[in-house]
Amino acid sequence: MPKPVVDEEKCIGCGTCVSVCPVGVYELSEGKAKVVNPDACVGCKACEAQCPVNAIKVEE
């Protein structure tokens, strides 16, 4: 099962992950991306590929 992880030290709160995630895994909170629905992750890695600062990893 894929597990999305946000490195809050790197995250700049741009919202790209929120926009590209097809299943609503992320939301912005206090200027950072947060994983709010990890069980919905389908492992497409769109968030990982699109994050401009490489703050997201989808672990298998």
Q: Which CATH number is 18's domain given? A: 3.30.70.20
Cα–Cα distances in Å, from 25 out to 17, 31, 42, 48? 9, 16, 9, 12
Domain coverage including residue 15 = 3-59
| Full-model pTM | 0.93
Distance CA(54)–CA(9), nearest Å, equals 11
For residue 13, the model assigns a pLDDT of 98
Q: Show Cβ contacts of residue 42 under 8 Å, excluding neighbours closer than 6 positions.
A: 2, 22, 23
Taking only the tens place, the pLDDT of each residue in 14-59 is 999 999 999 999 999 999 999 999 999 999 999 999 999 999 999 9
Q: Which residue has the tokens 């769109």?
A: 46
Domain count, the chain: 1
Distance CA(60)–CA(3), nearest Å, equals 6
